Structure 1
């Protein structure tokens, strides 16, 4: 290459430019140029091999009026994001081709609909529109299917969702009116997902033309058996059999992968029939189309004017029914494309599949006659581990984490610049809000397990997923992260993989969240007892961490199994509602569960709202009047004057005024170590000390010992209260995401505890880990691996330390 570049340097300038252009075309066009700009989000997604879906813009510039087109554009991008993909809306703005548009750019383009300098752009138009910008003439444009395919391919995008394909017009044998979409499919390797082609076209000749161009055409069966029709846009049936039929998105992804791997230079067309509830019967549409074509002929509407004229007449003749049908089919196509793109990304991430080797990844477990609880190995093959990866799945873990594995969506409010909403921090209720939406693998238990894993601990995640697209994506992602996965069980329908949607304000602080964790909440005691609890006895972990996404009785079953194995029990409350499951009411408990929950968990990490919820639940159950509670409180030796002054000195007057340390102290008889997460104010540690705890005689711990046992109780030694303020507080502009920050803190904390450190010795490191996640777009920052060396330097516990480690 150096010799080539040297030779180019000696050429005439004009020839040098020509050779440079030639070399540029040899490279993958994933970088920006003066004619093509790819958004940072799309480039990052392509680089990380995330699923990306291209979206056209003619539908906005020449289909729907402003501002309806803005709402549709925003909605379709949201459909891609909520189904696990990254949208890449493609169009021309000010004479520059854009692949991926910001909300401001989308508004600029859609608001130009109907203006003289806003054009409908196909292959033949791109050079003119992009080139004329250099001469001072700037155009906006919506790209057709052909135009969108070209720009998507230049960017490296493989899947494109649209409404209906262009085709061979009726009477094309004399008019030669054939859409450029068809020839583009024959020369550009992009997969187009549409609702067939528009009903007023000549469908049999369109399919014949596509066959001549070497374009693979298939229709999604959509639940139908046997041969199915190629769809006719508004109608599910056209009277013309589809050349091929595919069952689902997995099969579609397999075909695309083979097409790209060979590689073949032509595209693929997957026809997705309009949803049943939105379809218009074929017999009804046939009459309307014949009349619309007759009127078009009478009006002399031909060439590029033919399709808009006919569409407008169909709208009139259907009494407007074609418009909601249009919306329904395009949304269905975009959703289908996002799922196909996600399946393709999963497939390309599995080495055995990428090399064409047969694996059982595509073996559907739906028709299995076996139990409805299956391990990961029955669904997907784990990739080979390298020598640098951590402990193998069969090795006994130090930590077992039981709880939610979910697909998370983070919706960050992004008020539009130059609008009245720009000064607002929080999204507005009862309306649509502009946002940046990200999708990633999450769930409290997953995040905690990942954080501990990144920091060098051997971790086993115990959770359940559905036999669905989200579940398969989760399994592949876990395997690629090198985490143990044999504790993940796959449940057949109607179970759904857990999902979590967080809505954050403009500063990335949580405004509200919606969680569907029914897959865990519906688990029975028998399921848990047979599937997971034996593993605790088998592996004898140092720590069992359980989140509150389980039902109350199941939560207690986990606690009892962990206690029997001598493990440290950590409890993550998850939310204000679910936190109260710790205090399962007596009517819900089996006979062998004590009414008073004495130290079922050794450690809990609530935020201030969850702490308040725990306190309220204990109050409602009248646990603060139980004799066992009073025994512990009396043994603490709290002075008759109370603890307001020492608490104010140890924590802060603001926290004392809110009653936060007081509430945590009152909960100590149930949970002896409570770390209350205070956001930017840090973490409040409240700890019940045993009678022989060395901190009772330590000068360095003395400022934090707020009371000592005064009645000779053999178990209680005193109380330790300490506020840990963070070394670093990030400003609003520095915070990338708050999702998973608390989970990261807990994962780092237990990673240190299983190394034999006391809780107060680990908090600072857990803080540092949380800050890394605040700065990361991921729920758990990959940069936590940089803290692993410090954790590993602490060394493993000795057997002697293990015996008394619950004093930590």
Structure 2
């Protein structure tokens, strides 16, 4: 389901009327406080506020000034998703074309962050300018800071705002008087801000002192600790400065907020959430880095609004990117924490509880740190807080969790992906700076960067289709071992179902090891997928097909099935037969040169069928796999079959060949390589072939059915290689051949390539997601470019499938 349709469904109905007793309370506290033409609140946020649902505000400078595109859009999608799956409504706030928007749509966010160089950094003082002025006839865009977001959130009636870090008093303030407007905004705007403290290069003691002068309550979440607790220093859990106050959890923080707003206090509150421990950089280590960054900033003459981005860039360089990973982790943890706080606050407001009627709790103590040694801190609540839907240490390089692709309980998957689920090891050769050879040396040990992740061709395709919005079920098997348990946990943590994964005893979970050179190009790969390879009738995998996967297939009746070539021919034949019985569209992913041949080695009692009722409808090989598949079909005698010849003869290819037409449709180099010719000869068995050509793009070769509109369309004329001329259109249904070379959508520099593993699988998953979701209304050529964009995101990702694929969902 596309994101836009999910949002429409969420806000389709009008706000339900509320009892008058509650309506008056809402009006006094949470009504939208302006009818200005420069201020807009989305229908979804308006309805949530009217219905007293929890809402969490998000700023946009973190996207426009913190991360490059499309990483910033991926982050925005993830943060909104974390809010939704933890029980609240996200309200991303920014300035677009001179209008301050609360609750930006995915398309609006995409337009803002994709042109972040044109967006200003908008605090309270900048709102009038950005909303009121035009430049070169155009309205201005801007990302809102903490101060700007607080102000607009308050105008919309939003109580809780989660962000990364707070501005503060800069070091050397006695000379510069540089104090962030975030602090004064907290002193006059009643919004709760959840962050990981102020940026660590600021003067933390003076920042806390200034907040006290402004009347701002500052508390740090205990986060399970029972010792004296520091106010966090953004990248570090500790700062050496004790927090003015401590709260046990979101329930206690919500009780404070409820009292604060009930008393009508007009200042804000700041709840500091320490960065997850595994991402925390030691404070002493960060201090050395910060001192160097500050010295370089002073030497460069950076000042005013320039100084913070300058220092952050230097910190990124000096930490080797660790600061970026820490930044992503902490903002995600803050969003989850802020959402749980908003949910707890909503409970108190909805029930109208009076704090005096609740059992007294051990207080955290105003203005002083406290220790909990020997003291049990409890807060009685009507119900326990909801569990986290995602671990707090989830980062942007891990799978996106997005409600737009979550399955309803009674909703059957429309895509089944069957094949391998592996634990992957990616070994990238890491030569010393003095080594000029990018290739590892054979027969010896080499320095490397080694990463472990969840992979397998079927898993990668399923993951990509899932992130692109399709309702997917992965059908695979794992062993009853540690790797299998870890794989299942990672799968479900990533938001996918494990209902189709069979746990088998006395066997090993599949593993894949990739050896890449210094350019991240694959040198050698080793795979152990023996768990799927036993073809005996009484084998565990044979029984799993009959008793586990086949019943699920018949019940769900998915419209699309994807098979990877890790299945031996005997098992592949079973899947193809079942797919044909339910009328499913079948995609075949060859996996490798050797395994791709399995499709043409099916048992004699299950021969590969040809057009117009082929066993396989789409395949996505690279040029080497295509050549291997062609050779396997030839060696198996499939090109000698009468039914193959009848379809080939109906394609209308001249007896003299079509070299010139193929060269015009593709390139002379590809024709010399034989790629177009091999594709055409395989069309009777697989009528759609998307050949992945790396930097050259994708070659689509397709058998068009008789009567297809493209055969007579002027727009498609350049891509029609041939038309049926032998009068067999009615009998065979063949119309002609469509051949189109799609150039690469982006030139990716070698330095941007992180891993090639999973790139082809991502392209296949994106294609299938588009075909499945459009329910037969999509053509493959309409999806190739977006599938290439998905592949590029994976090429730049450490994961086997980039979690940023969710950013492309609107294009499917």
For 1:448 and 1:49, the matched residues in 2 are separated by: 33
Alignment of 1:542 with 2:559, yes or no, is yes
Please name the residue that 2:573 is paired with.
Answer: 556
Please name the residue that 2:784 is paired with.
Answer: 763
Please name the residue that 1:683 is paired with.
Answer: 698
Deviation string, structure 1 residues 266-290 (Cα, Å, up to 9, x no partner): xxxxxxxxxxxxxxxxxxxxxxxxx
Q: 1:744 to 1:530 in 2, by over 3 A?
A: same
Secondary structure, counterpart of 1:512 in structure 2 = strand
For 1:679 and 1:24, the matched residues in 2 are separated by: 53
For 2:755 and 2:503, the matched residues in 1 are separated by: 30
Alignment of 1:581 with 2:781, yes or no, is no
Please name the residue that 2:411 is paired with.
Answer: 395
Matches within 5 A, 1:278-427: 390-392=406-408, 394-418=410-434, 422-427=435-440
Alignment of 1:777 with 2:793, yes or no, is no
Deviation string, structure 1 residues 782-808 (Cα, Å, up to 9, x no partner): 1111111232xxxxxxxxxxxxxxxxx
Please name the residue that 1:729 is paired with.
Answer: 747
Aligned with residue 517 of structure 1, among 529, 532, 535: 529
Q: Indicate if the aligned counterparts of 2:429 and 2:517 stay in contact, CA closer than 8 A.
A: yes
Aligned with residue 510 of structure 2, among 492, 495, 498: 498
Deviation string, structure 1 residues 68-92 (Cα, Å, up to 9, x no partner): xxxxxxxxxxxxxxxxxxxx9x9x9
Please name the residue that 2:737 is paired with.
Answer: 719
Matches within 5 A, 1:583-598: 583-584=600-601, 588-589=603-604, 591-593=605-607
What do you get for the CA RMSD once the two structures are aligned? 3.7
Secondary structure, counterpart of 2:440 in structure 1 = coil
Q: 1:572 to 1:609 in 2, by over 3 A?
A: same
For 1:429 and 1:475, the matched residues in 2 are separated by: 35
Alignment of 1:744 with 2:762, yes or no, is yes
Alignment of 1:695 with 2:710, yes or no, is yes
For 2:468 and 2:373, the matched residues in 1 are separated by: 41
- Offset at residue 33 of structure 1 (A): 12
Secondary structure, counterpart of 1:617 in structure 2 = helix
Aligned with residue 464 of structure 2, among 451, 455, 480: 451
Aligned with residue 533 of structure 1, among 547, 550, 560: 550
For 1:710 and 1:496, the matched residues in 2 are separated by: 54
Aligned with residue 611 of structure 1, among 591, 603, 626: 626
- Offset at residue 718 of structure 1 (A): 0.8
Q: Indicate if the aligned counterparts of 1:415 and 1:506 stay in contact, CA closer than 8 A.
A: yes
Q: 1:778 to 1:541 in 2, by over 3 A?
A: same
Deviation string, structure 1 residues 578-609 (Cα, Å, up to 9, x no partner): 11110115xx44x3546889721000001111
Q: 1:50 to 1:646 in 2, by over 3 A?
A: farther
For 2:422 and 2:407, the matched residues in 1 are separated by: 23
Alignment of 1:649 with 2:664, yes or no, is yes
Deviation string, structure 1 residues 482-503 (Cα, Å, up to 9, x no partner): 112211111112x111111111
Which stretches in structure 1 are left out of the alignment for 5+ residues? 11-21, 36-45, 53-87, 98-155, 157-261, 265-348, 356-384, 792-808
Please name the residue that 2:205 is paired with.
Answer: 5
- Offset at residue 538 of structure 1 (A): 1.1
Please name the residue that 1:224 is paired with.
Answer: none
Please name the residue that 2:482 is paired with.
Answer: 469
Q: 1:692 to 1:628 in 2, by over 3 A?
A: same
Secondary structure, counterpart of 1:599 in structure 2 = coil
- Offset at residue 423 of structure 1 (A): 1.1
For 1:762 and 1:497, the matched residues in 2 are separated by: 34
Deviation string, structure 1 residues 482-539 (Cα, Å, up to 9, x no partner): 112211111112x111111111111111111111111112254333122102222211
For 2:521 and 2:438, the matched residues in 1 are separated by: 10
Q: Greater relative contact order: 1 or 2 (C-alpha under 8 angstroms, separation 6 or more)? A: 2
- Offset at residue 626 of structure 1 (A): 1.8
Secondary structure, counterpart of 2:649 in structure 1 = helix
Please name the residue that 1:637 is paired with.
Answer: 652
Larger radius of gyration: 1
Aligned with residue 449 of structure 2, among 436, 441, 455: 436
Q: 1:735 to 1:352 in 2, by over 3 A?
A: closer
Please name the residue that 1:666 is paired with.
Answer: 681
Matches within 5 A, 1:46-195: none
For 1:612 and 1:386, the matched residues in 2 are separated by: 39
Q: 1:616 to 1:407 in 2, by over 3 A?
A: same
Please name the residue that 2:268 is paired with.
Answer: none
- Offset at residue 395 of structure 1 (A): 1.9
- The TM-score normalised by the length of structure 1 is 0.51
Secondary structure, counterpart of 1:461 in structure 2 = strand
For 2:278 and 2:421, the matched residues in 1 are separated by: 19
Q: Indicate if the aligned counterparts of 1:393 and 1:484 stay in contact, CA closer than 8 A.
A: no
Q: 1:489 to 1:350 in 2, by over 3 A?
A: farther
Q: 1:350 to 1:550 in 2, by over 3 A?
A: farther
Please name the residue that 2:155 is paired with.
Answer: none
Alignment of 1:569 with 2:586, yes or no, is yes
For 1:692 and 1:774, the matched residues in 2 are separated by: 39
For 2:403 and 2:685, the matched residues in 1 are separated by: 44
Q: 1:566 to 1:497 in 2, by over 3 A?
A: same
- Offset at residue 727 of structure 1 (A): 2.1
Q: Indicate if the aligned counterparts of 2:600 and 2:608 stay in contact, CA closer than 8 A.
A: no
- The TM-score normalised by the length of structure 2 is 0.51
Q: 1:481 to 1:350 in 2, by over 3 A?
A: farther
Alignment of 1:484 with 2:497, yes or no, is yes
Please name the residue that 1:71 is paired with.
Answer: none
Q: 1:484 to 1:352 in 2, by over 3 A?
A: closer
For 1:611 and 1:354, the matched residues in 2 are separated by: 42
Q: 1:469 to 1:708 in 2, by over 3 A?
A: same
Q: 1:762 to 1:429 in 2, by over 3 A?
A: same
Secondary structure, counterpart of 1:727 in structure 2 = coil
- Offset at residue 778 of structure 1 (A): 1.1
- Offset at residue 624 of structure 1 (A): 1.5
Deviation string, structure 1 residues 762-798 (Cα, Å, up to 9, x no partner): 101101111111111111111111111232xxxxxxx
For 1:263 and 1:703, the matched residues in 2 are separated by: 78
